[in-house]
Chains A and B, each alone.
Chain A
């Protein structure tokens, strides 16, 4: 069975893939989204849902500007989705905090902020370092152990599961063909089009956009691209719904629009499910209670671990193939934050057939070819 007649095949049905597919459909492209089955790792279902600016870009200054571009575009993006689907993804941008539980943690944060903003060519925006009393004015329920924190007015969050549903609803309305259980096994370019062999049959398209998260590592070499990835595990603790009391999202604690409190910012190099231990979730919960003591009697309803999509250096990769013109790769950790960029900036580039170097050249995987300093 061969499915053809598509301008673009998007490989990957996570947030990066479906945001890109929606953007392509808006440009008038006929789009097919090829997704794996439920055996896929599904990083997009396990994220923390921040639209986050502060701390992004230390080590690659243009990433800060790229992030702010998406953060600024998010309101318009969510309005467009609401117009099309009637669904509200609850994008809120009250600014966000990173709270410190010791002077040492606060100094480390202040130092990272200083180094980030001292980089040549960094976009100008403000991250404030605040003491306990200043934080308490905005977050009255902090515990006495919170010595202070960093605050950036550009930070926000969304309901990311609803975002997922909303994008799928919008794709469906625009006639995008979403094909689950189509794991891509091979990609070849023949007769001016891409032929994708999948577990659900062959699919042909004029262009291909790889948005398969960590699996881009396997797929990119098929079309002369590369995507060096280093997946990472995070664990999240989820509480019952309680009355709103956290009016700002934080790097390790946030309250959703429906009242649930999500806790967790852990990072583990091991992604082996057999190595999963409760100690990490317990530590996250303990630190959350030190930040907000009134969480102590709130019930936990579930915990989960999820795999983060992570490139080797943590920064996004956007590339187009020289050997297979029409093939593109998109990789990033922050699929929620950068969703607006993928839909409104990157997708139109793919529709035009060429990446805009002025915007995305710093994110080429060619940066990994610089010889390491001895």
Chain B
């Protein structure tokens, strides 16, 4: 769906559900996920419908992911770091993990 104008700078490595993807310094997690071709990053807790990053500016809360073990973080507000671990969220989170 999205293509980087310049692939050369995408040198950081992060893991999404255990799979490595490349991102560029300065990307948000949401931008990195979209650029990696990941279309749905969660399903909703009540109806189970798929969701993707939408507003990209912190207001819609549709891009919630687990980052380094902390759940329901807004992927569009968190810059990527080398070695970051991202997990997509399916339905309701489990308390205690």
Contacts and interface: CB of A to CB of B under 8 A. Distances in A.
B71 A259 contact: no
B96 A141 contact: yes
B46 interface: yes
A23 to B, nearest CB: 31
Residue in B46, B95, B97 with the greatest tally of chain A CB atoms within 10 Å:
B95
Interface string B71-97: 110000000000000000001111111
A245 B46 contact: no
Contact of A259 (B45, B70, B72, B97): B45
A309 B93 CA distance: 35
B47 to A, nearest CB: 10
A295 B97 CA distance: 10
A241 B95 contact: no
B93 A242 contact: yes
A276 interface: no
A243 B95 CA distance: 7
Contact of A294 (B45, B46, B69, B95): B95
A240 B96 contact: no
A259 B94 contact: no
A297 B46 contact: no
Contacts, number: 48
Contacts of A298: 71, 93, 95
Given A240-B72, A299-B72, A245 B95 contact: yes
A258 B45 contact: yes
Contacts of B71: 240, 297-299
B96 A294 contact: yes
A293 B97 CA distance: 11
Nearest to B93: A242
Nearest to A255: B95
Interface string B29-62: 0000000000000000110000000000000000
B46 A242 contact: no
Interface string A239-278: 0111111000000000000110100000000000000000
B92 A243 contact: yes
A241 B45 contact: yes
A49 B69 CA distance: 32
Interface string A286-307: 0000001111011100000000
A267 to B, nearest CB: 27
B92 A242 contact: yes
Contacts of A259: 45-46, 92
Contacts of B96: 141, 245, 293-295, 297
A242 B45 CA distance: 8
Contacts of A245: 94-96
A243 B46 contact: no
Nearest to B73: A299
Nearest to A292: B95
A299 B93 CA distance: 10
Nearest to A259: B92
Contacts of B91: 243
Contact of B46 (A241, A292, A293): A241
Nearest to A245: B95
Contacts of A141: 95-96
14 contacts: A141-B95, A240-B71, A240-B93, A241-B92, A242-B94, A242-B95, A245-B94, A259-B45, A259-B92, A261-B95, A292-B95, A295-B96, A297-B69, A297-B97
Interface of B: 45-46, 69-72, 91-97
- A-B residue pairs, 6 tightest by C-beta: A294-B96, A241-B45, A242-B95, A294-B95, A259-B92, A243-B94
